[in-house]
Amino acid sequence: MAARRRRLGGAPARPDRRARLDRRLAHADWHLPRSLAGSLAAFGPVLHRSAADARRRTRLLVRLALDAVVVILTLYSAAGFVLGLLYFQALIWNADQFASGGATLSAVGLLVGRFGLLACILLLTSLQGALPLLMLTLGLLVGRYVLLRRARLATLPDVS
């Protein structure tokens, strides 16, 4: 009975189970005293260096990556600021044209061009992600604030 159980659950009952391809045994559960790939001495400086060295080197790369993100977001906000100045200056000029009643065709062309340019720039920026879109919009709103504040200060009566 023990021999029968051994045949069903264990290795075959032959005396030689080697594949005879090399000096190692072919049994899948056999413990090897060393790795088959050879020594990793060539990779010692990479694999066995201290954690402080690794942190010091990667910290520089992380700072450079974060600085690049900050610069890119600053450029998006600056572009939004310039776009806001141009857009709202064109809006003021457009309102003056409609109020005076002259050059209606150029005023309508400027109106369509203004909306089209803003829509295209916002669409292209939205393809870059949410954060660049938010920074561009923030710059647009800051440009609007600056331009309207300058216009408001120009229309205030002189009290002196």
- Specify the pLDDT at position 96: 87
Mean pLDDT in the chain? 76
Rg value, the chain, Cα: 37
Task: Report d(CA 89, CA 85) in Å as an integer.
Answer: 6
What is the pLDDT averaged over residues 50-69? Answer: 63
What is the pLDDT averaged over residues 75-99? Answer: 92
Reported confidence tier of residue 24, pLDDT bands at 50, 70, 90: low
Which residues, 6+ apart, have CB-to-CB distance to 85 below 8 Å? 143, 146, 147
What is the pLDDT averaged over residues 33-62? Answer: 56
What is the pLDDT averaged over residues 50-57? Answer: 55
State yes or no: pLDDT of 135 exceeds 90: yes
Cβ burial of 84 (10 Å; 0-12, 13-18, 19+) is buried
